[in-house]
Structure 1
Amino acid sequence: MNGFRLIADLLHLLSYLLLLLKIYTSRSAAGISQKTQFLYLLVFATRYLDLFVVFRSLYNSGMKIVFLACSGYVTYKMQVPPLNATWDREADRFPILYLIVPAAVLSLLFHYDWSLFELLWTFSEYLEAGAILPQLLLLQRTGEASTLTSHYIMALGAYRGFYIINWIYRFVVEGHFDPISAISGIIQTGLYADFFYIYFKKVVQGGQRFQLPA
């Protein structure tokens, strides 16, 4: 544990708090990708299976439970009334098998060992690299996002960015380097590049609602 990872985890937690706040204040899932939410649930479900067999710390276990619970809750709420009626199925049409199948194949080709937990962890790392893609494509199709939705996406992207800093810190200080996590994290953070730019130009500097250029 170091300060960069702590900030990353807190940003991750903040992203879910913002998402839940958006859902409950607007009583709508408009602008939220149900497919991205399902992919994150799959990521956490396959990554945190060791929660039931290994105890590292109260902090570690607590965070895993929170992220599993939040992703499961949001995914469920978007499937049932009244939120399911507000989810834009037409705009949120990215075929998630295009992410799941390559992640499964890569996990079989490039991993550290053949244990079940290790293969599932590796799958989750590859899948998380692209899990935000349906959300970003939904945003591209609609052309704008509510303030809370844009803050949610920003916090989620910043969380991955701080994890990259955490990996650099660990490599410099501890000599530890995990190429699977690092490459997957860099790819995922790179997907946010356009969003980051527009967010800072429109929301941070301009004090406006997030909106893509016409």
Structure 2
Amino acid sequence: MNIFRLAGDMTHLASVLVLLLKIHTIKSCAGVSLKTQELYAIVFATRYLDIFTDFISVYNTVMKLIFLSSSFSIVWYMRSHKIVKRSYDKDQDTFRHWFLVLPCLLLACLINERFNFKEVMWTFSLYLEAVAILPQLVLLQRTRNIDNLTGQYVFLLGAYRSLYILNWIYRYFTEPHYVHWIPWLAGIVQTLLYADFFYYYFESWKNNRKLQLPA
């Protein structure tokens, strides 16, 4: 495992911990899109179907269990916890996220590396992850004023994907025959979706002011 892959994994893990910190400690999910969290739960559930059948390493299994349990825990908190769900802004979080699922599934059936159930589900998870952040970005643009933890959560998610792109570049030049177009293209699309948020995030950091997206 190279430094870019490890940094990407740790950044991804940090994003989850930041969100859980906000929800569990502050008992608030204000500014967090339940729609995005539901999509991420689907992403991890379909990507890690091999968790009990294909052992790669202890590290790999532990990370899979963390992302599976945390994604479903966040959805449960936002839907069922009496205090947390009061802070959920349902009226603003109206992106029709289920309309993203079927196109990604159809695309995975048409464009994949091998046409079998596990491979199609893995490919589907890549396509869906690429666009899963859309409801969250739309919610942030509607609410405009973004609290510190929510801003850090979204920034860390974007940073994780950017580090994974560096990981792919590194592996392309250091590993023979390392070519995987599907995750590469899905990852690039996902990273581009964060471009606008990154700009305003760094502007707020540079000017030492609260993060605010334009209307």
Instruction: Assess same fold via TM > 0.5.
Output: yes
The superposition leaves residues 50-70 of structure 1 with CA deviations (integer Å, 9 ceiling, x where unpaired) of 001000000000000001111
The superposition leaves residues 48-96 of structure 1 with CA deviations (integer Å, 9 ceiling, x where unpaired) of 0100100000000000000111111001100011212211111111111
Is 1:179 aligned to 2:157, yes or no? no
Q: CA deviation at 1:113?
A: 1.1
Structure 1 counterpart of 2:190:
188
- Aligned match for 1:199, one of 183, 194, 201: 201
3-state DSSP of counterpart to 1:55? coil
Task: Work out the CA distance in 2 between the residues paired with 1:213 and 1:122.
Answer: 34
Give the alignment's TM-score, normalised by structure 2.
Answer: 0.96
Task: Work out the CA distance in 2 between the residues paired with 1:169 and 1:20.
Answer: 32
Q: CA deviation at 1:98?
A: 2.0
* AA at the equivalent of 1:20: L
Q: CA deviation at 1:20?
A: 1.1
Structure 1 counterpart of 2:138:
137
Q: CA deviation at 1:112?
A: 1.0
* AA at the equivalent of 1:179: W
Q: CA deviation at 1:10?
A: 0.1
Structure 1 counterpart of 2:99:
98
Is 1:23 aligned to 2:10, yes or no? no
Q: Tell me the percent identity.
A: 49
Q: Does the 8 A contact of 2:19 with 2:150 survive in 1?
A: yes
Q: Does the 8 A contact of 2:47 with 2:125 survive in 1?
A: yes
Structure 2 counterpart of 1:163:
164
Task: Work out the CA distance in 2 between the residues paired with 1:97 and 1:77.
Answer: 20
Is 1:208 aligned to 2:206, yes or no? no
The superposition leaves residues 179-204 of structure 1 with CA deviations (integer Å, 9 ceiling, x where unpaired) of 110000000000000100000000x2
* AA at the equivalent of 2:190: Q
Matches within 5 A, 1:15-164: 15-80=15-80, 81-164=82-165
Is 1:13 aligned to 2:16, yes or no? no
Q: CA deviation at 1:213?
A: 3.5
* AA at the equivalent of 2:14: L
3-state DSSP of counterpart to 1:52? coil
Q: Which runs of 4+ in 1 moved over 2 A?
A: none
Task: Work out the CA distance in 2 between the residues paired with 1:143 and 1:66.
Answer: 31
Q: Does the 8 A contact of 2:23 with 2:77 survive in 1?
A: no
Structure 2: tracts of 5 or more residues without a match: none
Task: Work out the CA distance in 1 between the residues paired with 2:151 and 2:25.
Answer: 15
Task: Work out the CA distance in 2 between the residues paired with 1:212 and 1:181.
Answer: 29
* AA at the equivalent of 1:101: L
Q: CA deviation at 1:143?
A: 0.7
* AA at the equivalent of 2:165: I
Task: Work out the CA distance in 1 between the residues paired with 2:72 and 2:200.
Answer: 30
Task: Work out the CA distance in 1 between the residues paired with 2:203 and 2:2.
Answer: 31
Q: Does the 8 A contact of 1:170 with 1:177 survive in 2?
A: no
The CA RMSD over aligned residues, in Å, is 1.0
3-state DSSP of counterpart to 1:207? coil
